[in-house]
Amino acid sequence: MRKRKVEVVVISDVHLGTYGCHAGELLSYLNSINPEKLVLNGDIIDIWQFRKRFFPKTHLQVIKKIIDLSTKGTEVYYITGNHDEMLRKFSDVSMGNIHIVDKLILKMNGSKAWIFHGDVFDASIQHTKWIAKLGGWGYDMLILLNRMINWVLVRMGREKYSLSKKIKNSVKKAVKYVADFEKVAADLAIDNGYKFVICGHIHQPQMVRKVNKQGTCLYMNSGDWIENLTALEYQNKRWELYHFHEDKLTPFYSDEDLKGMNYKELLAAITITGKK
């Protein structure tokens, strides 16, 4: 299968190291594209919920694939999020084509895109971090329960069901939080002259035009790889919201050496690359 050339790809909220992460699907997606720039917009590795006993081979393969893309010329920008906030100690550090930053501004065809994770707007994380961490653990367990329910539903010939989406959509505070999040991000972008603002964090893929008295901007959210399996792509002067489920992309490997590596070999390859 030929790889699609894309100028910019933005993904966020992968949460490697958790039960809900769809690492295999993400790996298939990364193997299907050839991006000039890959923006990892926070919460890629879930350091909050990291546990030694759970970090599957596919999760390591995603890390190795990202490193391989960087060695082949892709500029990789790792924007720190709240679940990988420990990496903020290394902000503005570059290793070859991999750059760790807290936010990113990209110039594209005379306009500027402002990209950041979005947890700066979340007071629950800033002031009561232990509650946010507990909520993250609960969300992971909910996703695991949802997978078991969907396993039964599929075998009964019924459609899959999302518990977390049902809960979010039925709770007025959650709906209001998303709306407020989008408004604040858009208003700040317009005030600072950005035509595009891209966030992650809230796991709500979105692309919508925002307008206020000062001007307009395009608000976008790259979604997540827990439930929605989405990304943002920029090519030929336009942004598009990519949905893995709509792509009908079958799992494949363009890198046979990556496919053939066992767990220890992957871990060794990542460690050795990181020391260079």
Percent of residues, the chain, with pLDDT higher than 90? 51
Strand ranges for 80-205 from DSSP E = 93-95, 98-101, 104-108, 111-115, 196-199
* CB contact at 8 A, 41 and 71: no
- Give whole-number Cα distances, 195 to 40, 78, 189, in Å: 20, 22, 7
Would you say residue 162 lies in a domain? no
Q: What is d(CA 145, CA 27) in angstroms, rounded to the nearest whole number?
A: 24
Looking at per-residue pLDDT, the higher value among 267 and 229 belongs to 229
* CB contact at 8 A, 52 and 267: no
Would you say residue 68 lies in a domain? yes
177-204 mean pLDDT: 91
Would you say residue 261 lies in a domain? yes
State residue 104 phi and psi, 5-degree precision.
-145, 135
What number of CA atoms fall less than 13 Å from residue 133's CA on the CB side? Answer: 13
157-165 mean pLDDT: 68
Would you say residue 128 lies in a domain? no
Q: What is d(CA 261, CA 204) in angstroms, rounded to the nearest whole number?
A: 34
Would you say residue 142 lies in a domain? no
Q: 99: which 2 tokens?
A: 């750059």
Looking at per-residue pLDDT, the higher value among 66 and 270 belongs to 66
* Whole-number pLDDT of residue 254: 55
| Digit-coded pLDDT (tens) for 65-85 | 999 999 999 999 999 998 888
Would you say residue 148 lies in a domain? no
Q: Which residues span the domain enclosing 72?
A: 4-117+173-275
**Res. 167: pLDDT tops 70:** no
Number of Cβ within 10 Å of residue 108's Cβ equals 15
* Whole-number pLDDT of residue 253: 54
User: How many distinct structural domains can be found in the chain?
Assistant: 1
Q: Domain of 90: which CATH number?
A: 3.60.21.10
Would you say residue 234 lies in a domain? yes
Which of 5-9, 21-25, 161-165, 178-182 is most confident?
A: 5-9
Q: Which residues of 200-229 are buried (b: 16+ CB within 10 A; e: fewer)?
A: bbbbbbbeeebeeeeeebbbbbbbbbbbbb
The mean pLDDT of the chain is 83
**Res. 43: pLDDT tops 70:** yes
The pTM assigned to this predicted structure is 0.79
Would you say residue 122 lies in a domain? no
**Res. 119: pLDDT tops 90:** no
Q: 122: which 2 tokens?
A: 């979340």
